[in-house]
Amino acid sequence: MRLYYEIALRSFRRAMTYRTAYIAGLLTNAFFAALRCAVLIAVYQSSGVDSRVAGFTLQDALSYTWITQSLISIGAGWVAFDIMLTIRSGDVVTDLMRPWSFWGYWLSRFWGERLFNLLIRGALTYVLGILYFSAHIPTLGQAAGFACAISLALLVSFGYTLLVNLTAFWLIDNTGVVIIANILLSFFSGFLLPISFFPPVLAALARALPFQAITGLPAQVFLGHVAGPELVQTLALQVWWAVILNGLGLLVLQLALRKVVVQGG
């Protein structure tokens, strides 16, 4: 356990080192959030500012935009590709030979970096939302629920990232898979638009897929749209997808190790 903690800690510190990179990233996210908010304000004005659309008031929609943009750096919209780079270069062999769990190693690295992104980059982005668009400030209960939901979301997101990355064992150049994986994630997770805005068929599809467990559900918990027994249900759903995706990931990893010849030399 100590080992994985140390790996996560180093990953956290590494993320902290690139200060200009995260400040630039943060401003980019904030700029996009501001643009989307302008669009939302305009569309809500056309149907009366006080109206509630698909359960969202204008203020809810603005807060939703800011929270999802703040979650970008923890994987709300795109998958990371560190693992597939090591597969392409052949470095993966060294990692596999080390006396640790390959899954545990990457999960710790992932957690370290994501935790930094959540606590510093994400939080600062959201503060801009609070300052300029009076984004929702969660109550203590909502914040606690969000802490649970986002931890589970990280696990789900890791399982999905692992699966997408492992395709590189078979495909080497898996750019196509990554493009499709990102489309599915950004659209069906509710990152581009809340799922309740979708037409019924698409909404039903989105609710049957794992992606909402990564972005949409934690965002709704944060806004207080999901509370009480519903919150328990939401968390259970996230646990379910975390287990399924990570289980599949481990299974695929076993298959890959049995069959595949590694690149490089």
Q: Contact positions toward another protein, by CB under 8 A?
A: 20-21, 24-25, 27-28, 31-32, 34-36, 38-39, 41-47, 53-54, 176, 179-180, 182-183, 186-187, 192-193, 197-199, 202
Nearer to another protein, 52 or 100 (CB): 52
Torsion angle, alpha carbons of 60, 61, 63, 64, to 10: 110
**Minimum distance from residue 17 beta carbon to another protein (Å):** 14
Question: Whole-angstrom Cα distance, residue 262 to residue 84?
Answer: 12
Nearer to another protein, 69 or 142 (CB): 69
Q: Take residue 220 and report the two structure tokens written for it.
A: 């709704």
What Cα–Cα distance (Å) separates residue 5 from each residue in 2, 43, 66, 98, 242?
5, 47, 31, 16, 20
**Minimum distance from residue 82 beta carbon to another protein (Å):** 17
Nearer to another protein, 45 or 134 (CB): 45
**Minimum distance from residue 49 beta carbon to another protein (Å):** 12
Question: Whole-angstrom Cα distance, residue 121 to residue 89?
Answer: 30
**Minimum distance from residue 46 beta carbon to another protein (Å):** 5
| Burial classification of residue 47, based on how many CB atoms lie within 10 Å of its CB (0-12 exposed, 13-18 middle, 19 or more buried) | exposed
Nearer to another protein, 177 or 256 (CB): 177
